[in-house]
Amino acid sequence: MRLINIGCSFSYGNQISAYETFAQEHLSPGTLLAEHLDCTEYNIASPGLSLDGVLRRLYTFDFEDDDVFFVGLPPNVRLQYVSVKPRNQSKVRLSDPTGQGPTVYRRNAFNAGPKTPIDWFKTMRFDMDLELRQMDLIETTAYQSFFYILLIQQCLANKKYWMYNSVHGHMQQPTEIPEIQVLKDKIDLTHYYQPEYGLLDFANSKEEYCVAQDDSHPNHVCYREWFNGFVTFL
């Protein structure tokens, strides 16, 4: 049995074991659940992934019949597009020799760990140009969340799975549009850990939970504390 770990950077994990301290191993939510279930983690998460990107990977990766899934639901303002040139995700990001910008810990937190070598898809944020797109951001993000979460659940309907919010709680979003409310009401909360709360919210609850002073991604301490709560949900 394999534990399929999928989501964005919050699901992908890193090598930060405490506040700005490197560890010997890469740790992710999937790593912890695989240990708990006594199985092997198969990490197909990717920093920057979107909800539609999660759905695409679930449909296109070659899974086995007894795979179980741990799905981190990325933020809803992201949308993927196909790039003319694929990106090589195997490249290691180098530290800034000038000492300017993000700390070494932040820049190197995601260097180690499993990567999809070539990826034709990149992520855009459609909340950056609202005037041009004439978009109602609140209703659009609610629609994005509920629609893709439903599709992800339908994709995994015959599988064993659990899901959680990577950043903020998708289910806390209000909507005044009846069609969007119908989508929200159809989401199955049985396998959904803390639907109105996100892993980023948890990481921001204590400074020592973050990988660095300038980065709110969870470190190893945060992952383990968060996972203790998830185990009670199990």
- What tens-digit pLDDT sequence spans the chain (234 residues)? 999 999 999 999 988 888 777 888 889 999 999 999 999 999 999 888 899 889 999 998 889 999 999 999 998 877 766 666 655 554 444 444 444 544 454 445 555 555 555 554 566 666 555 554 666 778 888 888 999 999 999 999 999 999 999 999 999 988 999 999 999 999 999 999 999 999 999 999 998 999 877 788 999 999 999 999 999 998
CATH number at residue 31: 3.40.50
Cβ atoms of residues 172 and 202 within 8 Å: no
Side chain identity, residue 179: E
Structure tokens at 101: 């910008």
How many domains is the chain built from? 1
**Whose CA is closest to 227, among 31, 9, 21?**
31
Cβ atoms of residues 218 and 202 within 8 Å: yes
Give the domain extent around 17: 2-233
Q: Strands (DSSP E) along the chain, which ranges?
A: 2-6, 14-18, 21-27, 40-43, 68-73, 78-88, 118-125, 160-165, 192-198, 210-212, 215-218
What's the pTM value of the predicted model, to 2 decimals? 0.84
